[in-house]
Structure 1
Amino acid sequence: MIATILVALIALLHLYIMVLEMFLWTTPRARKAFGLTPELAAQTKALAANQGLYNGFLAAGLIWSLLYPLPGFAWQLAMFFLTCVAVAGIFGAVTASRKIVFIQTVPAVLAMLALMFV
């Protein structure tokens, strides 16, 4: 149950990030979340939308893992997409902001650990 909740929360987080990046990038909320000036947000809007799409794919994969009827394959799906989230968090921490590791990687690893003990 804990593993399922963690996977669902991470999926919701990535849906939220997708919305911020694809649709709200230039709003005060997104600019604050990503530390952007209005000018930089305007200049990077297309890049952010592309990035948001990838976050949407991560969320879709995690949701797929929650809905798939065969537990063994659902587990594999969850582990694959959580690994993708964890790696994306590490890459983001190295290239953008160290706080990303706490927002993406740590929750993904915790969910993976929870799944291993199911």
Structure 2
Amino acid sequence: MMLVANALVAVVAALHLYFLVLEMFLWTKPLGLRTFRQSLEKATDSAVLAANQGLYNGFLAAGLIWGLVHGVPAFAFQIKIFFLLCVIVAGIYGAATVSRRILYVQALPAVLALILLWLA
């Protein structure tokens, strides 16, 4: 069960690395424009804010990866729990303020990983 839980934590980390790339490097490119459903003008105006947001997503990914590679299982568990909770809070806030889609793309995988960690 722990293997499956850790695999899902890795998926959540990979998603946040992908968000980092989208927000920091592809925000004004065709993929970024399509993903976030915005015009080039709006994306250009908000590119600095998006890059900042991408950096924070990178920190979330780094924390989850830290939890996956830490050598002390009890501490690794605590790290993963903390960063999954951060992802969930960020996903709920994003869903409430930006788009409900964020709840499903960001928060739901983290909730599932959190549940699996607790069950393992």
Quickly name the TM-score band, shorter chain normalised: over 0.9
How far, CA to CA, are the matches of 2:15 and 2:109 in structure 1? 10
**1:42 shift after superposition:** 0.5
Aligned to 1:4: 6
User: What's the counterpart of residue 85 of structure 1?
Assistant: 87
Match of 2:69 in 1: 67
Higher relative contact order by CA 8 Å / sep ≥ 6: 1 or 2? 2
Q: Which ranges of 4 or more aligned residues in structure 1 deviate by more than 4 Å?
A: none
Structure 2 unaligned runs (5+)? none
Structure 1's unaligned 5+ residue stretches are none
Corresponding position: 1:57 with 2:59: yes
Letter matched to residue 21 of structure 1: E
What whole-Å deviation, never above 9, does each CA across 1:56-87 have from its counterpart, x for those lacking one?
A: 00000000000000000000000000000000
**CA distance in structure 1 between the partners assigned to 2:114 and 2:29 by the alignment:** 33
> How far is the alpha carbon of 1:117 from its aligned partner?
1.1
Matched positions, count:
118
| Secondary structure class of the residue paired with 1:97 | coil
> Which residue of the other structure, out of 48, 68, 78, is the alignment partner of 1:46?
48
Which of 101, 106, 113 is matched with 2:108 structurally?
106
CA RMSD across the alignment: 0.5
TM-score, with normalisation over the residues of structure 1?
0.99
